[in-house]
């Protein structure tokens, strides 16, 4: 099982499971920008060699200033973290909600963070019947004063209506919105609550910089909240949590406008193409908005997400067995959208694997 540590992109486990070196796998199980890191990252790495003997800026001032300008919010509203993962953990530790509402399936770290603080979870199950969309009646059923919601949600790729979230906030609840994949959404401005978070005491938005800029190894994310709440969270953060290389890479990638445009062009072209080809193979694709696709497997007796993952892994292609997400069963997988030639390999390997399962079923 590739999800041994709860995440996709675990090339070390893949190496142990399938016996090829990590670099030989094509990884559709984690959702990075397939264009690879932008050019500015290499330049930052070279410059960094001479600075490793200095402490990072504990207040991460330059990156905060740049992000504040980009999003048109106060610098005091931004907290930089060691990946969005640190900020998910930090906000739950700091606010210690007794009950947290989660809409399943969702990113596993939300529940893990709640468990670490011994809080309890008020779950709502999203439904395949409406493509896993969170609706107002479902939210009313959740009965909590603290909500943690992914928008776009992982693994479904669905966005949450910002009006629905603001209604919760105005109703007295605290809401943390994980927008880790929001940069990939063409209508980002319509869906993000980043600017609202800067002025509401009970709204927090978390962003990741590791996915869009393909730098998961350096760990970098940020949170936007009211200056007062952000100051409270900062006091609880580990000192120098964000190392100086991550800070400098963060500053560098924000200058990469051409890379960002290229990314959006690639996704607008490749996503519909891949969806069409997957549907032709018999997959049902959940119509999310981002750079990964949650799919329901074709109806073939004996075909399971784990079985398909194993077949694909033997061919050097890693996919996510989505049955490990609470609320999904063994008929769901998740694939990242990658470059055309890589997507073609994915499709070819899927076709071969499905044939195998069909032949076995016919025997």
Could you list the residues that contact ligand PLP (CB under 6 A)?
Answer: 83-85, 107, 150, 154, 178, 180, 208, 210, 216, 221
For residue 182, the 8-state DSSP code is G
Cβ distance to ligand PLP smaller for residue 70 or 280 = 70
Rounded to the nearest whole angstrom, what is the least distance from the CB of residue 178 to ligand PLP in the complex? 5
Rounded to the nearest whole angstrom, what is the least distance from the CB of residue 150 to ligand PLP in the complex? 5
Give the residue at shortest CB distance from ligand PLP.
Answer: 83
As beta bridge partners, residue 65 has none
**Residue 99, H or E segment:** strand 99-104
Cβ distance to ligand PLP smaller for residue 332 or 357 = 332
Cβ distance to ligand PLP smaller for residue 178 or 256 = 178
Nearest-CA neighbor of 153 among 169, 138, 170, 143? 138
Rounded to the nearest whole angstrom, what is the least distance from the CB of residue 84 to ligand PLP in the complex? 3
Please return the burial class of 249, using the count of CB atoms within 10 Å of its CB with bins 0-12, 13-18 and 19+.
Answer: buried
* Preceding omega of 111 cis (within 30 degrees of 0): no
Q: Residues 2, 318: contact at Cβ < 8 Å?
A: yes
Residue 297, CA distances (Å) to 88, 226, 322 in order: 31, 43, 11
Rounded to the nearest whole angstrom, what is the least distance from the CB of residue 155 to ligand PLP in the complex? 8
How do the residues of the chain divide into helix, strand and coil, expressed in percent and rounded to 5? 45, 15, 40
Rounded to the nearest whole angstrom, what is the least distance from the CB of residue 206 to ligand PLP in the complex? 7
- CB count, 10 Å around CB of 240? 13
Cβ distance to ligand PLP smaller for residue 152 or 307 = 152
Rounded to the nearest whole angstrom, what is the least distance from the CB of residue 209 to ligand PLP in the complex? 7
Cβ distance to ligand PLP smaller for residue 83 or 105 = 83
């Amino acid at each position: 099982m590739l999800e041994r540590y709860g995440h996709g992109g675990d090339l070390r486990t893949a190496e142990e499971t399938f016996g090829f070196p990590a670099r030989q796998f094509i990884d559709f199980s984690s959702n990075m920008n397939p264009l690879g890191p932008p050019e500015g990252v290499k330049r930052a790495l070279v410059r960094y060699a001479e600075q490793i003997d200095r402490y990072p800026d504990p207040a991460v001032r330059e990156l905060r200033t740049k992000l504040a300008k980009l999003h048109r919010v106060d610098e005091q509203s931004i907290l930089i973290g060691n990946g969005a993962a640190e900020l998910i953990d930090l906000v739950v530790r700091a606010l210690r909600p007794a009950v947290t509402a989660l809409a399943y399936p969702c990113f596993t770290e939300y529940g893990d963070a709640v468990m670490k603080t011994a809080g309890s979870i008020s779950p709502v199950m999203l439904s395949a019947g409406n493509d896993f969309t969170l609706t107002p009646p479902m939210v009313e059923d959740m009965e909590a004063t603290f909500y943690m919601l992914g928008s776009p949600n992982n693994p479904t790729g669905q966005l949450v209506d910002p009006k629905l979230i603001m209604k919760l906030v105005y109703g007295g609840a605290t809401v943390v919105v994980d927008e880790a994949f929001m940069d990939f959404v063409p209508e980002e401005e319509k869906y993000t609550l980043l600017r609202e978070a800067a002025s509401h005491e009970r709204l927090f938005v978390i962003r990741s910089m590791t996915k869009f800029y393909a730098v998961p190894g350096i760990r970098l994310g940020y949170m936007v909240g009211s200056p007062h709440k952000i100051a409270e969270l900062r006091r609880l953060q580990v000192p120098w949590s964000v190392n100086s290389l991550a800070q400098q890479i963060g500053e560098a990638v924000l200058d990469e406008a051409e890379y960002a445009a290229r990314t959006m062009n690639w996704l607008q072209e490749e996503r519909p193409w891949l969806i069409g080809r997957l549907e032709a193979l018999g997959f049902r694709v959940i119509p999310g908005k981002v750079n990964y696709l949650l799919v329901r497997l074709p109806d073939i007796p004996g075909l399971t997400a784990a079985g398909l993952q194993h077949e694909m892994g033997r061919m050097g292609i890693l996919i996510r067995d989505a049955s490990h997400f609470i609320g999904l069963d063994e008929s769901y997988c998740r694939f990242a959208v990658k470059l055309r030639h890589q997507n073609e390999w994915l499709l070819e390997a899927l076709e071969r694997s499905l044939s195998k399962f069909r032949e076995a079923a016919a025997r």
